[in-house]
Structure 1
């Protein structure tokens, strides 16, 4: 079964945590996926920066959606790493992931996490790499 944009949007809408955060799928297909969410005060840590856990969530989910373009809709994260480059500040978090390599049962993806400010300027704040595994039932 192929993972279409329509199915990907339904999958995102079926994730209660993604709904809680207000995550949007803004690009999908051809080995890539981009998610966005608004940066809100309740998602920040004590210094006013977006919490690292939110960045980790966004990387994990974007990587998994990107891998789904190569492996199909039934996938799970096998693992991922994230490097925080600078504090995340702005109005929107954007997680853009792409497939680097895909086999029959596993894909490796990278993800760039950037913030967008009020003027539309983007700032790279973290990078991630992950492995996604296809479920075969």
Structure 2
């Protein structure tokens, strides 16, 4: 699949109506089996102490993993989550989250991805979460 087609595929899922569009998820880059997504800080995405909420971090990791595995699947298929395991490493204190997702294994129906999530504050990255995501390939819904 050509680079432009891969990015178009990931953007199609990310910018469709729903959660990822509503919270402002952005596709930064997309290549076969590797996706980078970001999410800017807004008051609606924070917990009581002003850090990104853990559910928001998990949601970004989940979606990035889906994109990474989807780009490695046959045309017409996309990945949906079967299992999401997130380990939180540090508070996400920054103004931006970056999720870097890599497909580790993609088979006919199941794929696994690793996602490293960092928080950016004053130009410095802090690792805030690590996710391992198992996904199942399904057919795209009819338009």
In the superposition, the TM-score normalised over structure 2's length comes to: 0.87
Aligned residues: 136
Match status 1:80 vs 2:84: yes
Q: Residue 90 of structure 1 corresponds to which residue in structure 2?
A: 94
Q: Residue 136 of structure 2 corresponds to which residue in structure 1?
A: 133
Q: Residue 44 of structure 2 corresponds to which residue in structure 1?
A: 42
Task: Report the secondary structure of 1:71's partner residue.
Answer: coil
Cα distance in structure 1, aligned partners of 2:137 and 2:97: 27
Q: Residue 63 of structure 2 corresponds to which residue in structure 1?
A: 61
Q: Residue 101 of structure 1 corresponds to which residue in structure 2?
A: 105
How large is the RMSD of aligned CA atoms in angstroms? 1.8
Runs of 4+ in 1 over 4 A off after TM superposition: none
Whether the aligned pair in 2 keeps the contact of 1:36 and 1:92 (CA below 8 Å) is yes
The offset of 1:74, in angstroms, is 2.4
In the superposition, the TM-score normalised over structure 1's length comes to: 0.91
Cα distance in structure 2, aligned partners of 1:105 and 1:27: 25
Cα distance in structure 2, aligned partners of 1:70 and 1:51: 30
Task: Report the secondary structure of 1:48's partner residue.
Answer: coil
The offset of 1:136, in angstroms, is 4.8
Map 1:106-121 to 2 at 5 A.
Answer: 106-117=110-121, 119-121=122-124
Post-superposition Cα deviations, 1:75-127, rounded to whole Å, max 9, x if no partner, equal 2111110000111111100111101111111111100010111x321110010
